[in-house]
Structure 1
């Protein structure tokens, strides 16, 4: 009678442990397995359940291993995300630390913000534009009248002229009804040009910097382009 009670109790615990595993309650299943192992090892009559218990142990070890792998993957992903966020925060902080000076062209009416650390070249006598520069960065902005050299000019007139004059592959280009953008690399230098077209005047901004310094100047270029105010339209 006592033997039947012992075997019945072990079978019930094995069933209970299987239910815990189905519910993915690994830690509780592991505790129950340790108890049932102690019971079996102290009673020869219950040795017949050793193989079943060993199988359950393997399931627990496998489940634990998968959980650890998932946690490691999650931690790795979180760590990567945090590094990316920190990188973005540093970029934003660096961008905010750059002070800008405001420039307005009286003749053609355009304006933009330029990093204060850039030097300003002597302006041309006709007052059509300006050039700012440093050791490895340069920005030129200027205006001109349209429909002077030829009649019935369109934005495509200037766009096609630029495409035909650039001797290298253009990495990025976009044409709209009022402006176009061209960006390309030549001799290790990136050139970014944005042209604004109007019926009477056009405005142009061109920036050049080393391709190796893309991460350094990318945000600065974006900030200046966003600050540019054209009088063309």
Structure 2
């Protein structure tokens, strides 16, 4: 009987000792988890609370573990710009019964960030849609202003960086629509002037009216200044200058000169207006002119010759090209000029 009582006492002592150790390990894991959550290391906090659950599956440990796991998921979803998933996890954090108040406070702050980011993106997508509509309706001034604000928004908000390629696509659509409009207007003006002068198109012109689809094109890229464009293979390239700044292409009475250069060389603080005004001062009647912050276009006719010039500008470099041909060859060279202008890429404005 005495031996039995001794054994029972020993077993009780072992059980008490084990429970005491378990309680200590549980509390230590809980304390470390609370500390880590206070430091906003929710991944580590969840690991500590999971260790506590392995010691003792108490409701408090379950709540803390679920709460920190959801908070970690919310942060990852926010960083990946998956805002619906982030909001779902945030609501789970806030709805956790007997959860840590500090974690709920962090969740509320993150919720404000998610809502702000979501509103920013909704607004940005609305602006892109408006620019697209303006381009389709050929309201190019409004579209240009919209594109400027879109680019500014991306520069000031890293959360919008993934929209960069879509904005570039809108910029390309705007450029293409603008050039087509310019060419149509210039062609109509030239045709009207020819009709007013009672000048019948030469038979040679009527028989040689080739379309872009019938012509083969190749691409020229300038290694020094980075611009490039497509041109018909029937154009011949003159020997390029040794400084590599551009090329001259010719065919009978058609000529194109394209080149790049550095700004602020002739004088300090040059602007695009400096070059634009200098060109205008040397011209007579201009049929079409357009000036923006980054480029300008001039189209005019002088002594029976059509000239189309486009100039791209930034604070350090410029790219430009000029095309000339007889007004009587408008039907032959007008579409070619349009395609070259559409395909011309200038890195100074991107």
Indicate whether the TM-score tops 0.5.
yes
| Aligned match for 1:198, one of 298, 305, 314 | 314
CA distance in 2, matches of 1:230, 1:179: 10
Note the aligned Cα RMSD (angstroms). 1.6
Q: Which runs of 5+ in 2 are unaligned?
A: 1-208
Which position in structure 2 is the counterpart of 1:139?
Answer: 256
Which position in structure 2 is the counterpart of 1:47?
Answer: none
Which runs of structure 2 are paired with 1:61-80 in the superposition (5 Å)? none
Q: Flag the structure with higher strand content.
A: 1
Correspondence 1:112 to 2:229:
yes
Which position in structure 1 is the counterpart of 2:239?
Answer: 122
| Aligned match for 1:209, one of 317, 325, 333 | 325
Alpha carbons 2:256, 2:324 under 8 Å: kept: yes
Which position in structure 1 is the counterpart of 2:267?
Answer: 150
- SS at structure 1 position matched to 2:342: helix
Which position in structure 1 is the counterpart of 2:299?
Answer: 183
Which position in structure 2 is the counterpart of 1:81?
Answer: none
Alpha carbons 1:159, 1:180 under 8 Å: kept: yes
Q: Flag the structure with higher helix content.
A: 2
| Aligned match for 1:225, one of 341, 344, 347 | 341
Alpha carbons 2:250, 2:256 under 8 Å: kept: yes
Correspondence 1:103 to 2:244:
no
Alpha carbons 1:100, 1:115 under 8 Å: kept: yes
- SS at structure 1 position matched to 2:218: strand
- SS at structure 2 position matched to 1:232: helix
- Alignment deviations for residues 5-37 of structure 1 (CA, whole Å, 9 cap, x no partner): xxxxxxxxxxxxxxxxxxxxxxxxxxxxxxxxx
User: Aligned-pair distance for 1:106?
Assistant: 0.7
Under a length normalisation based on structure 2, what TM-score does the superposition of the two structures give? 0.40
Alpha carbons 1:108, 1:144 under 8 Å: kept: yes
Q: Which runs of 5+ in 1 are unaligned?
A: 1-91
CA distance in 2, matches of 1:216, 1:105: 27
Alpha carbons 1:110, 1:228 under 8 Å: kept: yes
Under a length normalisation based on structure 1, what TM-score does the superposition of the two structures give? 0.59
User: Aligned-pair distance for 1:212?
Assistant: 0.5
- Alignment deviations for residues 19-58 of structure 1 (CA, whole Å, 9 cap, x no partner): xxxxxxxxxxxxxxxxxxxxxxxxxxxxxxxxxxxxxxxx
CA distance in 1, matches of 2:210, 2:317: 37
Alpha carbons 1:124, 1:130 under 8 Å: kept: yes
CA distance in 2, matches of 1:134, 1:142: 18
Alpha carbons 2:211, 2:335 under 8 Å: kept: no
- Alignment deviations for residues 67-99 of structure 1 (CA, whole Å, 9 cap, x no partner): xxxxxxxxxxxxxxxxxxxxxxxxx98211111
Alpha carbons 1:201, 1:231 under 8 Å: kept: no
- Alignment deviations for residues 90-140 of structure 1 (CA, whole Å, 9 cap, x no partner): xx9821111111000111110011110000000011111100000011111
Larger relative contact order (C-alpha < 8 A, sep ≥ 6)?
A: 1
- SS at structure 1 position matched to 2:252: coil
